[in-house]
Structure 1
């Protein structure tokens, strides 16, 4: 695989460096911010999330608005899987500088979903353009230690029907050397519009040969997962059971007549449990996007409020998003009393077993971390982010 010169990235002006403090820090957290007045998107590093904490280092990522929220953090390194350039890059924070370590050029763009096979091997899946219009997925296994592609192949998936022919690859998981893909099909309805078919598909594939074993159909909801490089849609609990969410609402699948729902695939099973479903939309009257496990059989979801937005044109800009705690056993859903949030596709929830933390952009133009006690349900203020912030789109724990 051809390696790219560092000069390529100097030309594209992706990563420059500035600093708030001269001291070298050992940050525990990193935020990805979209800034106001067309200032560069930036990474903000801090040592704690407390109210009296202060961000220590801020690094702008570009001179233009591109989707730098697409980075992946793992074991001391930052990776970016670009859907614009088909380039996979590796960076490291050194003192107060963000340093390019290596990069490789991939064949395809349109990466939608990833998972880690182990600490050194990333599985990335994308759509692959095909002249005969047969739906195809392209899978890469990238060894991030050596920055090389160790496995790649095409997976041909059966058509849903002629009307819905564009492939959405929402979730990928690997277990016992079997690959599991959750996907659906959609069609365009205008320059920016689309709608998704009413069926989800779960494909089980032998990973060594890429031979398709079987496909399970799901008609209770549609549009499984999403662009999980920038928002979480699945997790494994303490028992190893795999939970995931479907997202047919206006912001993702755009088939709002079907419900947002949580499903489960038990450890060691390739089939999704047909006796388990938490119907979020029926419970709260809205759709939700993003799910985060907080431990002990509970997860947090981020839901819209359809009475507060007009259509997709102002969906992201309206202060409407709520956060709710879901009991994965009973199915009960409880609202968390934090300020209303704005913005779509946000990876802004983190939990440590005792507290859940939310990075929220509220209607008072405050950009702050809020702290929720999972036992007492008490809410308290945390770290306040810079006033130049417009959206806080990521919050990642680095340790």
Structure 2
């Protein structure tokens, strides 16, 4: 062997030993951010403007810290959803796609969309609201194609077995208000409380009454209907945002949202149905708008001890072409027991769309997703014990709107 070959052989041996030694010192492990067990939340983010929109879901490990970035992350779910109105529970998303005529169950893992199951779905023309009887039973509510019939579907979510029917609520008392719309939905002590309204043809305003159907479960028979003429359009549609809750006392609270019935001048109120009763509490009426400069409630999340976070709408210029679905808003704390507006939270104006699932409540704190005007959104932690706001997770630029924040685990 020549001296040159010996030199190259020696150099090769040294190089090989260096590589092996380096490998021993620096073992390769899976990246921490790729461990699906660490992902406890999902954020839905929108790119573009309607109708040319794309919807992405980002997996998140924390709402308190870090930075969420669509660059190299996120799952495009536009193939299965037409809007942000997904129903989420236990990390699974449920959605009725009216274009495909199918109901699907999905989840996200390692930046992949997993289709657990899809089934044909014809029980409801368009799903508006929902409630959970338990972890395995989902009830969906909507209307038929003529918008004059209340339809429901019961879904066993493990295998997506679906059944359904019609609930014969009283017809509209006036032919002017011929379009049926579904509002809030709650289940308590074997009864379903379902808000609804009768709407007029655009640009007409709805029947000036709050209507609530009381339905026996599991028979799905109508027990009675409740009504009140001090406000109109009781909340909903719940697949976008909550407008009701059951508190520690087993009392039901729900808010009215007249703008969901195309009345942009009427105010919002909060009603109560006390535990053990199937009537509107005659001694309770919280006129929110009279205490909030005429602004109305878009959504309401209960945080405990009689308090709730309200996302309130700021009246918009009706000459704007996007007036009907883009409203500036802000967050306030209300005490529903006392019927009081406690305070406006010291946050920037929220420029999100009209329907935003913006709050997660856990460990006695609330985490609020805020669409800031500078297109750099954040999660904000609110501690009811001391009223403190703390900036948390940051959303990197590169999106148009934050639409949902959901707790998976």
- Picking from 346, 350, 356, the partner of 1:346 is 356
Instruction: Show the counterpart of 1:13.
Output: none
Instruction: Show the counterpart of 2:228.
Output: 218
CA 1:314/1:102 → structure 2, altered by over 3 Å: closer, same or farther? closer
Higher Rg: 2
Provide the rounded CA distance (Å) in 2 between the counterparts of 1:255 and 1:68.
23
CA 1:111/1:316 → structure 2, altered by over 3 Å: closer, same or farther? same
Instruction: Show the counterpart of 1:364.
Output: 374
CA contact (8 A) 1:45 1:55 kept: no
1:116 aligns with 2:124: no
CA 1:75/1:364 → structure 2, altered by over 3 Å: closer, same or farther? closer
Provide the rounded CA distance (Å) in 2 between the counterparts of 1:312 and 1:61.
29
1:50 aligns with 2:64: yes
- Picking from 296, 302, 306, the partner of 1:293 is 302
Instruction: Show the counterpart of 2:405.
Output: 395
Instruction: Show the counterpart of 2:272.
Output: 264
CA contact (8 A) 1:303 1:322 kept: yes
1:156 aligns with 2:193: no
CA 1:373/1:211 → structure 2, altered by over 3 Å: closer, same or farther? closer
Instruction: Show the counterpart of 2:8.
Output: none
Residues 19-30 of structure 1 aligned to structure 2 (within 5 Å): 23-26=34-37, 27-30=39-42
Cα deviation digits, residues 48-85 of structure 1 (max 9, x gap): 01233445941111269x63412222223221123444
Instruction: Show the counterpart of 2:11.
Output: none
- Picking from 175, 180, 196, the partner of 1:183 is 196
Residues 49-128 of structure 1 aligned to structure 2 (within 5 Å): 49-54=63-68, 57-62=73-78, 67-107=82-122, 108-128=124-144
CA 1:312/1:140 → structure 2, altered by over 3 Å: closer, same or farther? farther
Taking only aligned residues, the RMSD between alpha carbons, in angstroms, comes to 2.5
Q: Secondary structure at the match of 1:267?
A: coil
- Picking from 313, 318, 325, the partner of 1:304 is 313
Instruction: Show the counterpart of 1:136.
Output: 149
Name the TM-score, length of structure 1 as normaliser: 0.85
Name the TM-score, length of structure 2 as normaliser: 0.83
- Picking from 255, 266, 271, the partner of 2:263 is 255
CA 1:41/1:268 → structure 2, altered by over 3 Å: closer, same or farther? same
1:337 aligns with 2:352: no
Relative to its length, the structure with more helix (as a share) is: 2
1:276 aligns with 2:291: no
* Deviation of 1:328 (Å): 1.1
Provide the rounded CA distance (Å) in 2 between the counterparts of 1:89 and 1:347.
20
- Structure 1, gaps ≥5 residues long: 1-19
- Structure 2, gaps ≥5 residues long: 1-30
CA contact (8 A) 1:71 1:79 kept: yes
CA 1:83/1:338 → structure 2, altered by over 3 Å: closer, same or farther? farther
Q: Secondary structure at the match of 1:92?
A: strand
Cα deviation digits, residues 178-229 of structure 1 (max 9, x gap): 333211100122xxx4521101212223334443322221111111112211
